[in-house]
Amino acid sequence: SVKGCIFDLDGVIVDTAKYHYLAWKRLAEELGFEFTIKDNERLKGVSRMKSLEILLEVGGLKFDDETKIKLAEKKNNWYVEYISKIDKSEILTGVEKFLISLRENGIKTALGSASKNAMIILNNLGIEKYFDAIIDGNKVKKAKPDPEVFLLAAKELNIDPKECVVFEDAEAGIEAAKNAGMYAIGVGSSDKLHDADKVILGFDAVNIDIINF
Ligand code: G6P
Ligand code: MG
């Protein structure tokens, strides 16, 4: 039976994709090319440096490693400026209620995010208290689709990966969950999340029975 639920952050709990996009777009503009919202789809669930690689590929630009680190830092400073202003009102509909009812029913909860900014976001949203374990981009070495982030979450929860359910909005994240031997619930439209075991549009009016498989 299911003993724990692991949540991705960006795109599952809060729509930070729009802020990532604003910051990447600003960087692209500074470098002299356009970065569209469609291009941005490719960055979902992808690590910061890999995101930069994709952005530079779109712009047809190449830089040495030192410059790339500086560019990623610049993007991150803008991103942090944007997310420093977010509050509770940006928690996606139904998420908080869902987390509360999981815990009331004895299900452990964890965060499994690639973001190094996860703690700032959780604090601003005031939802840190709903997680028994928090694994973010500072704690892992290998990016999704590697299962490291989710396996570490299961380990901290002291639960067998087979008894974990993962909520993810990105394809790389669904793959990571499957690679961890977990049940993967996609959050979003089902046409993009083919490998998910189940797909939900969001947590609005979702009952905790959906975690049973
Ligand atoms: C999440 C987002 C990605 C982002 C990554 C790293 O996976 O979906 O778009 O690039 O986290 O985030 P960070 O805040 O560390 O740059
Ligand atoms: Mg995500």
Compute the distance between CA of residue 65 and CA of residue 84 in angstroms, rounded to an integer. 28
Cis bond upstream, residue 161 (ω within 30): no
The arithmetic mean of pLDDT across residues 17-25, rounded, is: 96
Residue whose CA is at the smallest distance from ligand 1 atom 6: 115
43 has binding-site annotation: yes
Q: Is residue 154 within a helix (H) or strand (E), and if so which, with residue range?
A: helix 148-157
Distances (CA, A) of 41 to 20, 36, 101, 114: 11, 9, 31, 16
User: What pLDDT shows up at residue 37?
Assistant: 94
The arithmetic mean of pLDDT across residues 73-101, rounded, is: 97
User: What pLDDT shows up at residue 190?
Assistant: 84
28-32, 141-145, 188-192, 196-200: range with lowest mean pLDDT? 188-192
Compute the distance between CA of residue 67 and CA of residue 100 in angstroms, rounded to an integer. 44
Residue with tokens 């290998």: 142
Residues with CB under 5 A from ligand 2 (ion): 8, 10-11, 45, 169-170
Does the C-beta of 115 come closer than 6 Å to ligand 1? yes
42 has binding-site annotation: no
User: How does pLDDT run across 63-82, given as a tens digit for each residue?
Assistant: 999 999 999 999 999 999 99
Residue type, 185: I
10 noted as active-site residue: yes
Task: Indicate which atom in ligand 1 lies nearest the CA of residue 51.
Answer: 10
Torsion of CA 15, 210, 109, 84, to 10 degrees: 10
User: What pLDDT shows up at residue 191?
Assistant: 84
Q: Are strands 108-112 and 183-187 parallel, antiparallel or unpaired?
A: unpaired
Distance 193 CA to ligand 2 centre (A): 12
Residue to probe by mutation, ligand 1, list 8, 19, 20, most atoms within 8 Å of CB: 20
User: How does pLDDT run across 101-159, given as a tens digit for each residue?
Assistant: 999 999 999 999 999 999 999 999 999 999 999 999 999 999 999 999 999 999 999 99
Task: Indicate which atom in ligand 1 lies nearest the CA of residue 20.
Answer: 9
Task: Indicate which atom in ligand 1 lies nearest the CA of residue 17.
Answer: 9
Residue whose CA is at the smallest distance from ligand 1 atom 1: 45
pLDDT above 90 (res 45): no
User: What pLDDT shows up at residue 213?
Assistant: 93
